[in-house]
């Protein structure tokens, strides 16, 4: 019985352990790529950095967008093409990998 409890606690600790450096680097790289994507494709109108003001009056800053919508909720719209936004907003479609990168960046703004 004691052996069973020891195995259980060791297993629980292994599952609860924080991610290793490789996982942390992957998410940092994903976040960085997401920032580059939104800077290139959205930065002409939207403020990408939290402390900035958007260049386009009808384009909310990304820091405001993540207050309105959870980043994960935007994933489908990013993949299929966002057609809502400011009136002259172009339609963008992103690959699955790009969507994950953008969502990672948006989560960093929360």
Can you give the residue ranges of every domain in the chain? 23-108
Residue among 32, 37, 38 at smallest CA distance from 59: 38
Residue-wise burial string across 45-74, b where 16 or more C-beta atoms lie within 10 A, e elsewhere: bbbbeeeeebeeeebbbbbebbeeeebeeb
- Digit-coded pLDDT (tens) for 19-78: 333 333 448 999 999 999 999 999 999 999 998 999 998 999 999 999 999 999 999 888
Measured in degrees and rounded to the nearest 5, phi and psi for residue 10 equal -65, -40
- Digit-coded pLDDT (tens) for 71-101: 999 998 888 887 666 678 888 889 999 999 9
Q: What is the CATH number of domain 23-108?
A: 1.10.760.10
């Amino acid at each position: 019985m004691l052996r069973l409890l020891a195995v259980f606690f060791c297993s629980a600790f292994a599952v609860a352990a924080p991610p290793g450096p490789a996982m942390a680097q992957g998410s940092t790289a994903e976040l960085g790529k997401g920032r580059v994507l939104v800077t290139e494709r959205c930065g002409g109108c939207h403020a990408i950095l939290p402390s900035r003001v958007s260049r386009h009056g009808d384009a909310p800053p990304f820091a405001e967008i993540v207050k309105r919508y959870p980043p994960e909720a935007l994933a489908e719209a990013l993949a299929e093409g966002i057609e809502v936004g400011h009136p002259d907003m172009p339609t963008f479609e992103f690959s699955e990998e790009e969507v994950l990168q953008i969502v990672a960046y948006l989560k960093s703004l929360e």
